[in-house]
Chains A and B, each alone.
Chain A
Amino acid sequence: MNDAIKQTIAFVKSKKAAARITEPLPVRIILTSLALLFVGLFLVVPLVSVFTMAFNKGMEVYFASLVEQDALSAIKLTLITAAIAVPLNLLFGLTASWAIAKFEFRGKYFLISLIDLPFAVSPVISGFIFVLLFGSHSLLSPWLEAHDIKILFAVPAIVLATVFVTFPFVARELIPVMAANGNEEEEVALTLGAGGWKTFFRVTLPGVKWGLLYGVILCNARAMGEFGAVSVVSGHIRGETATMPLHVEILYNEYNFTAAFAVASLLAMLAVVTLAAKKFVEWKSSGRFTPQLNTERRESGSSGVDL
């Protein structure tokens, strides 16, 4: 056997070894179907059943349960809550991520952990914190009563609980994006004569807009769908302090399944729309923001917040 043949054989062998890196066909089929089965059982079947249950007494009953007085007020309350909580957390998320990603300061890592706190504690406990703060046995209650301010079992507590629970979404999305973008574009803007605000609105904000939108979408979905924390502080007053998820629970407990599922179908649709919007933003941002030169950044460059 000459050397050339030996080399060819070695080459073919290495080719075979490379081919073996992917799994054999039966294994691939089994794993894929397992995954699909799991997704079907736990995601698709419940979603489909929500809509079948909602429509099982016909379209008229479905729409009637949505335009019913209590259902409408639940939808209204949910929208109001989201309309307050989302802009607040947008503002907070922007400022917090800006401070964390662009500056070095004492207690920075403490602040990062603090932002994550609502993810770490159970929503029920989050709600309970507000009961302890504003309840009838709290330190604040005499003052609140004297001024006739009602927080607990009213809209303010629902908003507060929602703000707390959705606190991390925008900031968590923005911190890595801002850190990756670095400070150089802002520095250039300053040398070109732009002031702080102009730099922020023309350079910093456009640089993170997709990340921001992504955070807002997630934040909004959670704000509308939050059950645990809101349930603790709302008092479940029908037509007054019941948000959509709470309204679903009330209807369900009354064995009014069709109405419960009709309202639930709205939340389910919100979820589907959120997913679609999320995908759209991901697709948009991946095309646009393949970072220019992340690997080559100056050694002393971006502060490198690792989350």
Chain B
Amino acid sequence: MSINIVNISKKFGSFEALKDINLTINTGELVALLGPSGSGKTTLLRIIAGLEYADAGEILINEREMISRKIRERKVGFVFQHYALFRNMTVFENVAFGLKVRPRGLRPPKNEITGRVHELLRLVQLESHAERYPRQLSGGQRQRVALARALAVEPSVLLLDEPFGALDARVRIELRRWLRKLHDELHITSVFVTHDQDEALEVADKVVVMNAGRIEQTGGPEEVYDNPASPFVFNFLGAVNIFHGRVHDGCAHIGSLKIDSREHVDVPDTMVVGYVRSHDIDIGRTATGGSSIPARVRTIHRVGNIVRVELLPDDGQGAVEAEITRDRLNELNLQEGEGVHIRPKKVKVFIEDYQI
């Protein structure tokens, strides 16, 4: 079922949590709402679920207006970061809850409920834990129970609020891949909130980057990573280096670099900022006219197969971090304190008045 978010705004006191949000989520998509804390992503999710009221705007699920409907009429499955399992109930009772509280006429018979719960527990690979209490489960198991419980009522959409946020690094990677697999089987329209860009880029069909109550960019994981629409998106989706310079006649001049910048051809002589990802910087022994900056190696950190080299440009700009492979490092035979040349492979130029 599709979700349409139309002109949603929300204030908490004088704090604007959401400013005129518009977003369409298509049937069967797995969408990530990605942003730093305070960007409004959780608030938006809670408004879709009906756990929070919007000050203005509309929510449509499957083309039907939802704002005036009660939570229980919306048929959304909601999964919390801290699982929110019913602690006085067993795993089985937790999953069965949504079916058991149905009005008498709509409630399935007992054996049907039992069958359905076991089927779901099999799906989340917890069938042998049916009689355990939540406190006897690990974090990853609890979150899978929460997921099974949400799926039990056959929701039209599944909403997950930082579903892996409370888990340790290894479990969260396992669980997010498992969620992706599960989604590929069930095809239920799902929205999950996260502040972890790896999670969003790896799992989602579509990433919605949010900042300060607004949507900065919506697109596929590769699209938002390769073509960030704003410095914020660029910065949020991974480590970045900043170079200051000027643009005129569609060409940006940053130190000794000359970068073709056709989208700014109409812009009069202006200050610009060039953004370069750490892995898009190569280091060379020799200068290449117009595409390298002379610098000095400050430190070399080896992290597994990746080497992070901190460089100080000779023109006095801030420190630059390059990420190269160990092979490349050995090839160059770099030493700390040496003079080298920074060669950015891919620079994205934004006009200066954008601020991160």
> B-contacting residues of A (Cβ < 8 Å)?
184-185, 187-195, 198, 202-203, 206-207, 209, 289-290, 292-293, 296-300
> Which residues on the A side are within 8 Å of B74 (C-beta)?
191
Among B83-91, B124-132, B247-255, B315-323, the stretch in contact with A: B83-91
**Supplied contacts A194-B101, A202-B86, A290-B135, 10 more A-B pairs, CB within 8 Å:** A185-B87, A188-B84, A190-B71, A191-B74, A191-B150, A192-B150, A192-B152, A193-B102, A194-B97, A293-B83
A192–B98 contact, CB under 8 A?
yes
**A/B interface sample: 16 pairs, CB < 8 A:** A184-B82, A185-B85, A187-B51, A188-B80, A188-B86, A190-B72, A191-B49, A191-B51, A191-B74, A192-B97, A192-B98, A202-B97, A207-B88, A292-B85, A293-B83, A296-B166
> Which residues on the B side are within 8 Å of A188 (C-beta)?
78, 80, 84, 86, 146, 149
A195–B72 contact, CB under 8 A?
yes
Given contacts A184-B80, A188-B78, are A206 and B72 in contact (CB under 8 A)?
Answer: no
B81 interface hit (Cβ, 8 Å): yes
B339 interface hit (Cβ, 8 Å): no
A191–B101 contact, CB under 8 A?
no
Given contacts A192-B98, A194-B97, are A298 and B72 in contact (CB under 8 A)?
Answer: no
Q: How far is the CA of A129 from the CA of B88 in the complex (A)?
A: 43
B259 interface hit (Cβ, 8 Å): no
A293–B51 contact, CB under 8 A?
no
B77 interface hit (Cβ, 8 Å): yes
Q: How far is the CA of A292 from the CA of B146 in the complex (A)?
A: 14
B21 interface hit (Cβ, 8 Å): no
> Which residues on the B side are within 8 Å of A194 (C-beta)?
72, 97-98, 101
> Which residues on the A side are within 8 Å of B78 (C-beta)?
187-188, 191
Q: How far is the CA of A292 from the CA of B84 in the complex (A)?
A: 9
B135–A292 contact, CB under 8 A?
yes
A185–B101 contact, CB under 8 A?
no
| Interface pairs A-B: 7 shortest CB-CB | A192-B98, A184-B84, A206-B88, A194-B101, A191-B78, A193-B72, A190-B71
Our pick among B37, B101, B135 for the contact of A193 (Cβ within 8 Å) is B101
Given contacts A190-B72, A195-B72, are A292 and B101 in contact (CB under 8 A)?
Answer: no
> Which residues on the A side are within 8 Å of B84 (C-beta)?
184-185, 187-188
B76 interface hit (Cβ, 8 Å): yes
Q: How far is the CA of A190 from the CA of B87 in the complex (A)?
A: 16
> Which residues on the B side are within 8 Å of A296 (C-beta)?
82, 166
- Tell me, rounded to whole Å, the shortest Cβ–Cβ distance linking A169 to chain B: 23
> Which residues on the B side are within 8 Å of A298 (C-beta)?
81-82
Who on chain A is nearest to B97 by CB?
Answer: A192
Given contacts A188-B80, A191-B76, are A207 and B87 in contact (CB under 8 A)?
Answer: yes
B163 interface hit (Cβ, 8 Å): no
- Tell me, rounded to whole Å, the shortest Cβ–Cβ distance linking B220 to chain A: 29
Interface string of B49-87 (1 = CB under 8 A from A): 111000000000000000000011010111011111111
> Which residues on the A side are within 8 Å of B37 (C-beta)?
299
Our pick among B77, B86, B102 for the contact of A191 (Cβ within 8 Å) is B77
> A-contacting residues of B (Cβ < 8 Å)?
37, 42, 49-51, 71-72, 74, 76-78, 80-88, 97-98, 101-102, 134-135, 146, 149-150, 152-153, 166
Q: How far is the CA of A290 from the CA of B50 in the complex (A)?
A: 30
Instruction: Output the residue of B42, B81, B150 with the most chain A CB within 10 A.
Output: B81
> Which residues on the A side are within 8 Å of B149 (C-beta)?
188, 192
> Which residues on the B side are within 8 Å of A185 (C-beta)?
84-87
Q: How far is the CA of A299 from the CA of B42 in the complex (A)?
A: 12
B51–A292 contact, CB under 8 A?
no
Our pick among B77, B101, B153 for the contact of A202 (Cβ within 8 Å) is B101
Given contacts A198-B101, A206-B88, A292-B135, are A192 and B82 in contact (CB under 8 A)?
Answer: no
A189–B97 contact, CB under 8 A?
yes
Q: How far is the CA of A59 from the CA of B136 in the complex (A)?
A: 53
Who on chain B is nearest to A188 by CB?
Answer: B84
- Tell me, rounded to whole Å, the shortest Cβ–Cβ distance linking A171 to chain B: 21
Instruction: Output the residue of B49, B88, B150 with the most chain A CB within 10 A.
Output: B88
Who on chain B is nearest to A192 by CB?
Answer: B98
- Tell me, rounded to whole Å, the shortest Cβ–Cβ distance linking A105 to chain B: 15
A192–B101 contact, CB under 8 A?
yes
- Tell me, rounded to whole Å, the shortest Cβ–Cβ distance linking B61 to chain A: 13
> Which residues on the A side are within 8 Å of B152 (C-beta)?
192
> Which residues on the A side are within 8 Å of B77 (C-beta)?
191
- Tell me, rounded to whole Å, the shortest Cβ–Cβ distance linking B158 to chain A: 11
B153–A193 contact, CB under 8 A?
yes
Who on chain B is nearest to A291 by CB?
Answer: B87
Q: How far is the CA of A191 from the CA of B42 in the complex (A)?
A: 16
Instruction: Output the residue of B82, B85, B98 with the most chain A CB within 10 A.
Output: B82
B72–A191 contact, CB under 8 A?
yes
- Tell me, rounded to whole Å, the shortest Cβ–Cβ distance linking A301 to chain B: 8
Given contacts A206-B88, A292-B82, A292-B87, are A189 and B101 in contact (CB under 8 A)?
Answer: yes
Q: How far is the CA of A193 from the CA of B74 in the complex (A)?
A: 9
Q: How far is the CA of A290 from the CA of B87 in the complex (A)?
A: 10
Q: How far is the CA of A290 from the CA of B135 in the complex (A)?
A: 9
Who on chain B is nearest to A199 by CB?
Answer: B101
Given contacts A292-B87, A296-B166, are A193 and B98 in contact (CB under 8 A)?
Answer: yes
> Which residues on the B side are within 8 Å of A191 (C-beta)?
49-51, 71-72, 74, 76-78, 150
Who on chain B is nearest to A194 by CB?
Answer: B101
Q: How far is the CA of A299 from the CA of B37 in the complex (A)?
A: 10
Q: How far is the CA of A29 from the CA of B50 in the complex (A)?
A: 62
> Which residues on the A side are within 8 Å of B82 (C-beta)?
184, 292-293, 296-298
Q: How far is the CA of A189 from the CA of B101 in the complex (A)?
A: 9
Who on chain A is nearest to B37 by CB?
Answer: A299
- Tell me, rounded to whole Å, the shortest Cβ–Cβ distance linking A201 to chain B: 10
Q: How far is the CA of A193 from the CA of B97 in the complex (A)?
A: 9
